Structure 1
Amino acid sequence: MTASDLAFSDWVAEARSVSVLDELGRRKISLKRAGSEMVGPCPVCGGRDRFGVHVRKGIWHCRHAGRGGDAIALVEYLDGADFLAACETLTGRPPPRGEGTRATPEELDARKEERRAKAAKREAENNRYREAERRKVYALWGASRPIAGTPAEAYLARRGIPNPCSRDLRFKADFAFCHGEEEVGGRAYARVLHRGPALVAAITGPDGRFRGLHMTWIDLSRRKGKAEIVDPDTGEVLPAKKMRGSKLGGAIVLVPAWSGVARTVYAGEGIETLLSVWAALGAAGVDLRDTAFLCAADLGNLAGKARETIVHPTDKVADKRGHMRRVHVPGPVPDFESLAMPIPPECTELVLLADGDSEPFFTRMAMERATARHAAPGRLVRVVWAPPGKDFNDVLMEALAPEQAGGTPAVANGAYQDGEAA
């Protein structure tokens, strides 16, 4: 093999090593988790959830088009490109042997216009779908009730959290947990794996308008109160939490600043994390009248998208040829054009809560990104970490025995510190 052939082989391998999810993220194509896959409308032919990416295998497929494969096949599909053009898109470099693309400038212009028209059509369809979905989940929210005296209140109490009397937290007694699809009479319907009580939370935008719903299924017979839901086909234990509607650019206002001015804001990804810190600070006698507790629902919405991905210092994954490749994760520099949860403009101190039981490097990059994104003149932004292997609710529950004996909860008394895990 000549040096030219080796360079070409390396160039193709570089293109093939790009993560399918990274390329979709670069194009701002979002998908939702469904078991071992991320699913959603096909960027080319639409639908609802016909397009999927197998997270572990790193391959995509569209059921309607019958297409799928790695990142090169993805770019060929999305752009109508040939193999060389797809590799050039993924690597950002022309072919090393000078082959170039097989398209003329006129053909490239036509493809660009075709992609623009398709993108505009997809965006209009997506907007219609998002509004229809928002109305559906708003109806579910309207059918729920305040949590006082319900299993939702008992669930929070099980986690050591008193009822925050939040307008954005409610209870729904009989909520269907859907996962995947099943065919009935030739039509596809959402597959219901579980029905039961759920704590539901409203996700609202900066204007206070309802955007989406966060749901946590409850089983008070279990130690921490969350339901255990198993996929009968795979045996996989599924997360007992889901979101519907849109979370990006919104937040769950768990506890507002009762003075009406949120000088201090605590923000994080989980409801229990934020309410654990709220409960501990309240028990310690901290004046919280000017303090708000805002839940982003996940790290992506807390920090927004990254400008670029970076190589994980240790994690690797095998590609389809069995070669070990470095894992790429979102980096510390924010993409300010992407949406993220809003922080009240009057906030002068923002405390970002980082769980110690999440993947450390990924979480640290998200916290650095959130710190940069939410920085503002006159505002102090600091990151507070839970101890390694724990979240703030773990810390609170461990503190319950000393609290009952008259002590101060450890979560409010130095069990965590700024910047580093305690």
Structure 2
Amino acid sequence: MTTAIDLFVEEARGVSVVDAAISLGLVGSSFKGNHAGACPVCQGKDRFAISNIKGAWNCRNCGMGGKDGISLVAHAGHIDVRSRAGFLAACAQVLGKPLPDEAERETEEQIAERRQRIVAQKAKNEAAAADREKQDNAYRDREVKQSRGIFFNASAEPHPDVAAYLKVRTGYDMPGEVFAYLRSSARCTYWHGRDDRGHEIARHVGVAMVAPFVDLAGQVTGCHQTWIDMQCAPKFRPDLGRDDKGEPLQMKKMRGTKRGSLIPLFGLMSSTRWVGGEGIENGLSIAGAEQFRQDTFYFAAGDLGNLAGPAEPKSRFAHPELTKSDRNGRERRVMVAGPEPKIDQAPDEAMQVPDHVTQLVLLGDGDSEVVFTAAAMARAEKRLARDGRVIETWWPPEGMDFSALMTRY
């Protein structure tokens, strides 16, 4: 590339995720903190996130994410940055200006000045990246510490509402061993948003089930909170208020580090047979149906992204039916994260299963979008495959999950 293009690219790399999100209209101009909402590509309501603190974006449904504005505008605009033309188009869009004229003639002095600006811009970008990484590490450490505090301060004695909730959502009474993992908090605060002074807002205080995320060494890395109100049938979720777009706030939150970890539900991790899927209720429904087999470890991954892991970008494919209008009003097929796992992914990028496991049963959700979910479950099978290990995926009837199946009759 020419010197002019080099500078253009370095300027584009200096555009933050938040600035790009503002220009795309995904967040407001005064955005701070974290944002969760509809993905501009797959339109998943609660699986797309932007973090001002981390300087990153992520869509668990698409299996895509990044830490710069270029990747976000490319994702939103269906731009393939694997090609030079596509990458430069994304740079132009994130900067909001056309590509420079490569045929432009410059004096030697102008070329030298431009090269100096490139060096200065690179140094600025590298310093900003180092600062973001430092802040990211500090934020993650604080989150892990706080999540451990939430879990270990919760009661090991099951709250009556937690026991009742699990019974009505799974169809089975929970044995005491389950509550060795799933703790209770009688007065757990639900924080969401910030006031004019930047302080977090307490939206609700009530009963919550608190589960740990643990790594394969059994160390707590995070926690999963589920707020419960047994007076609010049929889903028994309290009124937590609404987000900025008027959507009801989710009854569940995950804190700390979940990637690479899992939620234990019943049994020992030393078991050679493991059974689990995304959610706590589905895993316990199957455990109850199997009468809580003593030779089995039941678990939950927390979400589909942690279960399936990131996809190899080249395996992405167009959804056979779903479309979305691009910025120019043209209908384009929604892209789906493919069935092939990302090559050479790190252990902390997705939930892990130890080598001693010889039988692994993965639980799919029949009430999620079928193409996205099927691709993700196929990816999970391939990612977790080992010599001597038998893997199968169990599916509930279409339009249901295992929790609904077990409580239907």
* TM-score normalized with structure 2 length: 0.72
Counterpart check, 1:334 vs 2:334: no
Taking a change above 3 Å as real, the CA distance of residues 53 and 293 of structure 1, as seen in their structure-2 partners, is closer
AA paired with 1:364?
A
Q: Secondary structure at the match of 2:291?
A: helix
Taking a change above 3 Å as real, the CA distance of residues 98 and 346 of structure 1, as seen in their structure-2 partners, is farther
Which residue does the alignment assign to 1:317? 324
AA paired with 2:155?
R
Which residue does the alignment assign to 1:78? none
Distance 1:327 1:232 in 2: 26
Maintained 8 Å contact 2:243/2:249: no
Counterpart check, 1:200 vs 2:210: yes
Deviation, 1:142, is 2.1
Deviation, 1:237, is 1.6
Distance 1:333 1:191 in 2: 41
Counterpart check, 1:87 vs 2:84: no
Counterpart check, 1:271 vs 2:273: no
Counterpart check, 1:71 vs 2:73: yes
Task: Return the match for 1:175 from 188, 207, 212.
Answer: 188
Q: CA RMSD in A?
A: 3.8
Counterpart check, 1:351 vs 2:361: yes
Task: Return the match for 2:305 from 285, 293, 300.
Answer: 300
The C-alpha deviation readout for 1:158-214, integer Å capped at 9, x for no partner, is 22232243322111111122222221xxx2122222221111111111221111111
AA paired with 1:396?
M
Deviation, 1:300, is 0.4
Q: Secondary structure at the match of 1:292?
A: strand
AA paired with 1:148?
P
Taking a change above 3 Å as real, the CA distance of residues 138 and 300 of structure 1, as seen in their structure-2 partners, is same
Distance 1:296 1:70 in 2: 26
Deviation, 1:74, is 9.8
Task: Return the match for 1:225 from 224, 232, 236.
Answer: 236
AA paired with 1:215?
Q
Work out the number of aligned pairs and report it: 337
Which residue does the alignment assign to 1:408? none
The C-alpha deviation readout for 1:111-143, integer Å capped at 9, x for no partner, is 555444433332222111111121112212122
Which residue does the alignment assign to 2:51? 40
AA paired with 1:191?
I
Distance 2:295 2:200 in 1: 43
Which residue does the alignment assign to 1:130? 140
Maintained 8 Å contact 1:267/1:295: yes
Distance 1:357 1:41 in 2: 32
Taking a change above 3 Å as real, the CA distance of residues 263 and 52 of structure 1, as seen in their structure-2 partners, is closer
Distance 2:257 2:373 in 1: 22
Taking a change above 3 Å as real, the CA distance of residues 156 and 84 of structure 1, as seen in their structure-2 partners, is closer
Deviation, 1:42, is 5.3
Maintained 8 Å contact 1:158/1:224: no
Taking a change above 3 Å as real, the CA distance of residues 262 and 90 of structure 1, as seen in their structure-2 partners, is farther
* TM-score normalized with structure 1 length: 0.70
Maintained 8 Å contact 1:84/1:100: no
AA paired with 1:375?
A
More strand by share: 1
Taking every aligned residue pair, what percent have the same amino acid on both sides? 33
Distance 2:362 2:311 in 1: 17
AA paired with 1:34?
A
Distance 1:163 1:198 in 2: 16
Maintained 8 Å contact 2:34/2:52: no
Q: Which gives a bigger RCO, structure 1 or 2 (Cα 8 Å, sep 6+)?
A: 2
Deviation, 1:106, is 7.0
Distance 1:341 1:70 in 2: 25
AA paired with 1:268?
G
Which residue does the alignment assign to 2:262? 251
Distance 1:189 1:138 in 2: 22
- Structure 1 stretches of 5 or more lacking a match? 1-19, 22-30, 56-61, 76-82, 400-422
Taking a change above 3 Å as real, the CA distance of residues 233 and 364 of structure 1, as seen in their structure-2 partners, is closer
- Structure 2 stretches of 5 or more lacking a match? 1-19, 22-32, 39-47, 61-66, 78-84
Deviation, 1:320, is 3.2
Distance 2:75 2:376 in 1: 30
Taking a change above 3 Å as real, the CA distance of residues 69 and 382 of structure 1, as seen in their structure-2 partners, is closer
148-157 vs 300-309, which moves further: 148-157
Distance 1:161 1:176 in 2: 28
Maintained 8 Å contact 1:174/1:195: yes
